[in-house]
Amino acid sequence: MLLNCYQEELLEAGCDEAGRGCLAGPVFAAAVILPKDFVAGELTDSKMLNHKQRDELRIIIEKTALCWAVASVDNEEIDRINILNASFLAMHRAIEKLSIKPQYLSIDGNRFKTYPEIPHTCVVKGDGKYLNIAAASILAKTHRDEYMVKLAEEYPLYDWHQNKGYPTIMHRNASLNYGLTPYHRKTFTISSPQLILFENNER
């Protein structure tokens, strides 16, 4: 059973990201402050849930959270500052958008760039331990999936409506056969040996 939050003395926001391992699209992050009496029986790490469960939980979270926010960092900025820093930046942007300023942050993972004036704790596999981090994982994942489905309408050959930009065999093969789109992360390895990238390879 997941605990509500990491600590109970200060108003805490849980934070998580989605899309770090993708070949295309932004990295998304969410920050969520839940009420102390929040209950959602199925809520856990978004990777452990199916699409329908995540969508249903998203509605509950967005309706009942004290506040929540989602933010992203696009592929071009990921290429400039690297995916780790982009993940931190996306979380910072989500925290900044919260309508209530948290007094404490619980971060999924083992590393984080300190947010000004708010203490934090990193929790490895925190989305399977604390409800506020799990809620953030749901929002980051569902908002990013929704965005990638929209991009798939523009670039249907890459199967983004299914793989959401992750490096599936079909996605890798499409990238090799048709080139990279403007939404691909050009610093990421598409294949081995690495695909040679050309500026005119965007179709």
Q: What is the dihedral of CA 34, 35, 40, 42, to 10 degrees?
A: 30
pLDDT for residue 125: 95
**How does residue 45 score in pLDDT terms, banded at 50, 70 and 90?**
confident
What digits encode the pLDDT tens for the residues 52-77?
999 999 999 999 999 999 999 999 99
Assigned token pair, 163: 């793989």
What digits encode the pLDDT tens for the residues 148-177?
999 999 999 999 999 999 999 999 999 999
What digits encode the pLDDT tens for the residues 119-135?
999 999 999 999 999 99
CA–CA distance, 53 with 67 (Å, rounded to integer): 21
Phi/psi zone of residue 10: left (φ > 0), alpha (ψ -120 to 50 degrees), beta? beta
Q: 203 pLDDT exceeds 70?
A: no
Taking each helix axis from N to C end, the angle separating 51-64 and 131-154, rounded to the nearest 10 degrees, works out to 120
CATH topology of domain 1-203: Nucleotidyltransferase; domain 5 (3.30.420)
